[in-house]
A and B are shown apart, each in its own frame.
Chain A
Amino acid sequence: MTLNDLTRETGEWLRGKGPKGEIVMSSRIRLARNLDDLPFPHWAKPVQRAQVLARVQDMIKVSKFLKGSMFLKIGELSELDRLFLVERHLISREHAVEGTESNQKGVVISDLEIISIMINEEDHLRVQVMQSGFNLQEAWRVLGQVNAEMEEKLAYAFLPEWGYLTACPTNVGTGMRASCMLHLPCLVITKQIDRVLHAITKLGLTARGLYGEGTEALGNFFQLSNQVSLGISEEEILDNMERLIRQVIEQEEAARTALLNQSRNSLEDRIWRAYGTLRSAHLITSNETIEMLSLVRLGVDLGLIATLEQGKVNQLFIQTQPAHLQKLEGRPLTPSERDARRAKLLRESL
């Protein structure tokens, strides 16, 4: 498998088939881990970071779960390819930034993009598993297996008192960050979203935008994740998140029902106008696309647009991003060329 093969495929998490897929786009869990005998990436010498990279590469060769995965060195990727991986949520923006450390940074990507491992990001290893829909349990089952196998081959920095040790003290303990990407258009339309987000942040969750830390909540997408990682077990973290997110889902469902009952015409008007824009535009920006696709996605979920599948809409959120368009076209595009290419893709797909 090569990077270019991914352009034609869709990650497992975009299928739109998971539980509560109409509201929860995806579930993701990552574990931060560091090798016991080497300094953390920011403090390590290049030769030490290279050792981390080499050890992980060796580990993959003998791994049952990761055999056949792609192993990529960030320094060997073009800027376009790095951005492509960010858009697919396989690496973070920080990991993609070009610098002297890029040569010792890497990423492992499994079949169907279910498992990915960032090497030498803030920690030596950031192991993540992504699933479609509201499915933290399945993500945890897969991650547990991968982690157990890796632990047999790599010795991790660990103290009984403080758990797994990480570069930043905010991640010690379980080293776990679990998150769900929620699509909450009706809580936004009914102006209840601030109240809901305020309440969950008081109960130990953090809310962020589509592309994680520091990004805005475009297209009514909110990424909810746990704040604390020490003094609470992995299962408790997940249990707590599931309970809270289930309540957010219920709130969104109630808002959807209320809008359908009380202002069906105006809701349908918004949805069909968005669909019309996407089907007719000849120039469209990435942000407008996300806002419009969000409404179309809602239309599909409510059964108003019967001709479209949710998986198709999910895919378009990613395929209309700048790097994806350029990979599709096979050459670099200027921003205005991208707006035209994006509009063409949307017209053809919808």
Chain B
Amino acid sequence: MRCDLCNEREATVHLTEMIDDQSRELHLCEPCAREKAPKGLQGFGLAELLAGLADFGSKMGEETKAKLVCPRCKMTYEDFRKTGRLGCGQCYETFHRALAPLLKRIHGSGEHVGKEPAAGKVPAEELSQLKEQLKKSVAEEAFEEAARLRDRIRALEVKPKRARKI
């Protein structure tokens, strides 16, 4: 296969670009990939490569991306690009559009087909323990701790709803 850009050399870098849910395949030779691909792809170390790949794929403008902040752990998209690591489970939903092409590129597939946690089951023991602790913190007027526990209980109780396709 020839490179889409120079149409001369053999294409060895294969990328999938996403523009508003429309995917487009891009086949490049290495020199063109280095030169023409977005900045992030120019580093070729493993960490840079991963972080660089995170840059590719979605056509979200830099401004839109910069605004992405995980509501739960406060990781920004920029933080992810620097470290190549996500901050928490919620990040996968926050950066969903940017991550989808990256995961496809790493794993060659975008859909999980393996085991799942027992369907929507809330760990009953943990929940009752938490409720017990919540009562105690309210009684002790430890409101900060109580708020944390309340959020945790809420998160657990709505869990079955989250078991949906996104």
Residues of A whose CB lies within 8 Å of any CB of B are: 34, 36-40, 42-43, 62, 122, 148, 151-163, 165-170, 172-174, 176, 228-234
Contacts and interface: CB of A to CB of B under 8 A. Distances in A.
- Of the candidates B93, B112, B122, the one having the most CB atoms from chain A within 10 angstroms of its own CB is B112
B63 interface: no
B155 A36 contact: yes
A344 B93 CA distance: 58
Contacts of A151: 117-118, 123
B45 interface: no
A192 B156 CA distance: 54
Contacts of B13: none
Given A39-B73, A155-B159, A169 B50 contact: yes
A62 B123 CA distance: 14
Contacts of A172: 92, 103, 107, 112
B interface, over-half SS: loop
A3 to B, nearest CB: 30
Contacts, number: 137
17 contacts: A40-B87, A40-B88, A151-B118, A152-B125, A153-B126, A155-B156, A163-B116, A168-B86, A169-B102, A169-B103, A170-B50, A172-B92, A174-B115, A228-B108, A230-B110, A231-B111, A232-B114
Interface residues of B, number: 44
A230 B112 contact: yes
Interface of B: 50, 72-73, 75, 83-89, 92-93, 99, 102-103, 106-118, 121-123, 125-126, 151-152, 155-156, 159, 162-166
Going nearest first, the 5 A-B pairs with the smallest beta carbon separation are A231-B109, A157-B89, A163-B112, A230-B107, A43-B87
Nearest to A229: B107
A167 B112 contact: no
B88 A43 contact: yes
Nearest to A168: B85
Given A43-B73, A161-B165, A233 B114 contact: yes
Contact of B114 (A154, A167, A168, A176): A176
